Amino acid sequence: QFHIEMEPFHEKMEQFHRELEPFHEEMELLGNRLEGAITTEVAAFLRDELGAVTSPEADFHDAAVRIVEDADINVDDGVVRVNASRGNAREILTDLYGPQRIGLQDAFDEAVERAVNGLSPLRIQAD
């Protein structure tokens, strides 16, 4: 008897789920676009901080993807705040760009520390 009485409720829930599916898809697309934009900004930041101490061929996109995946991201009133784990960011930057270092090790280490500090948090003003 209980199952029979619950059937209209289940049907209504299924209908509600079908109606919300396009909204969920749109939210996923928006989330992907936001993550892509944040990754682009983080890559530009890394290029600014590490470009002088890495080879000209250094690609900062991969590091940005890894850092953004692990970071806490908050959006508030047109400001995106990326708060990356310092230890994780340092490890990613050292692993990826240590072999591409040019110049002195101390200069590279200082640039990595500036980048790590700038990523905790990095504030991006949305236009």
Kindly report, residue by residue over 84-122, the tens digit of the pLDDT.
999 999 999 999 999 999 999 999 999 999 999 999 899
Nearest by Cα to 97 from 49, 60, 127: 60
- Say which residues have a Cβ less than 8 Å from residue 122's Cβ, sequence separation at least 6: 41, 42, 45, 81, 82, 83, 84
Confidence at residue 126, expressed as pLDDT on a 0 to 100 scale = 77
Predicted confidence band of residue 66 (pLDDT cuts 50, 70, 90): very high
Residue 30 has pLDDT above 90, yes or no: no
Mean predicted lDDT score pLDDT of the chain? 92
Return the pLDDT at 98: 95
Cis peptide before 56 (omega within 30 of 0): no
Coil/strand/helix, residue 79: strand
